[in-house]
């Protein structure tokens, strides 16, 4: 009798949870990214039905705020370490599914809120410790299998902790990623 109840419960569970694609199918995964801001290792995971949280650690572009302007510099031979955290509201998953488009690797259009702390570079005096906080609109798409493409455009505030200046700055980002697990 216990076996029959267990098998019945198992089939009921599989039929309840084993449904086809759902709007709530945001996934979690780690990936390596390379793009305009440098190279990083990130982990993306859903925290709500349409919200994804991505955290990254990487090497790349440095920044500063001097003379009422935000400045960015990418030195290939001397990249600056950074930490980045981003919340993405993926708003068009239902529409993508209705058009038989994939939502794999959390693909879709999104509105994001991102903070990036750059540790600066003491060897290169113009690259200071900065915090860029931005709001942006972007897209994320799979490029077959394990590859992703992500781009965004927005507006942010760059706070320079060395000069004590803060400036508004347009922001743009583009990266290609490879899903690790």
Burial class for 132, CB neighbours closer than 10 Å (0-12, 13-18, 19+): buried
Is the residue at 166 inside a domain?
Answer: yes
Is the pLDDT score of 40 beyond 90? yes
Q: Evaluate whether residue 113 is within a structural domain.
A: yes
Mean pLDDT of the chain: 86
Which is higher by pLDDT, 14 or 60? 60
Any domain includes 102: yes
Domain count, the chain: 1
What pLDDT is recorded for position 113? Answer: 98
Q: Is the pLDDT of residue 123 over 60?
A: yes
Residue 17 has pLDDT above 50, yes or no: no
**Beta carbons of 33 and 42 less than 8 angstroms apart:** yes
pLDDT at residue 15 greater than cutoff 80:
no
Domain assignment present for residue 3? The answer is no
The full DSSP string for the chain is -HHHHHHHHHHHHHHHH--S--TT----EEEEEEETTEEEEEEEEESSSSEEEEEEEEEE-EEEEETTEEEEE--TTSPEEEEEEEEEEE--HHHHHHTT---GGG-EEEEEEEEEEE---TTSTT-B-EEEEEEEEEEEEE-STTEEEEEEEEEEEEEETTT--EEEEEEEEEEEEEE--
pLDDT band at 24 (very low <50, low <70, confident <90, very high): low
User: Residue 16 domain-assigned?
Assistant: no
At 151 the pLDDT is: 98
pTM to 2 decimal places: 0.82
Lowest model confidence (mean pLDDT) among 15-29, 91-105, 129-143? 15-29
Residue 27 lies in a domain: yes
| Rounded Cα distance, 169 and 70, in Å | 6
Provide the residue range defining the domain that includes 105: 23-179
CATH of the domain at 72: 2.40.160
pLDDT digits (tens, 9 = 90+) for 59-117: 999 999 888 888 888 888 889 999 999 999 999 988 988 999 888 999 999 999 999 99
Is pLDDT at 16 greater than 70 in this prediction?
no
8 domain-assigned: no
| In-domain check, residue 15 | no
150-174 pLDDT, tens digit each: 999 999 999 999 999 999 999 999 9
């Amino acid at each position: 009798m216990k076996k029959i109840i267990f098998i019945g419960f198992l089939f009921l569970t599989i039929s309840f949870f084993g449904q086809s694609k759902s709007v709530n199918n945001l996934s979690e995964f780690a990936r390596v990214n390379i793009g305009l801001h440098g190279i990083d290792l990130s982990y993306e995971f859903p925290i709500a039905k349409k919200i994804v949280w991505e955290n990254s650690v990487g090497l790349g572009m440095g920044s500063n705020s001097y003379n009422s302007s935000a400045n960015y510099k990418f030195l290939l031979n001397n990249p600056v370490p950074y930490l980045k955290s981003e919340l993405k509201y993926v708003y068009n998953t239902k529409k993508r599914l209705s058009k038989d488009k994939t939502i794999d690797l959390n693909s879709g259009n999104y509105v994001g809120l991102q903070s990036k702390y750059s540790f600066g570079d003491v060897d290169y005096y113009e690259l200071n410790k900065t915090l860029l906080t931005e709001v942006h609109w972007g897209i994320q798409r799979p490029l077959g299998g394990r590859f992703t493409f992500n781009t965004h455009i927005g507006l942010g505030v760059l706070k320079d902790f060395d000069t004590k200046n803060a400036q508004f700055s347009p922001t743009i980002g583009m990266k290609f990623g490879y899903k690790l697990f």
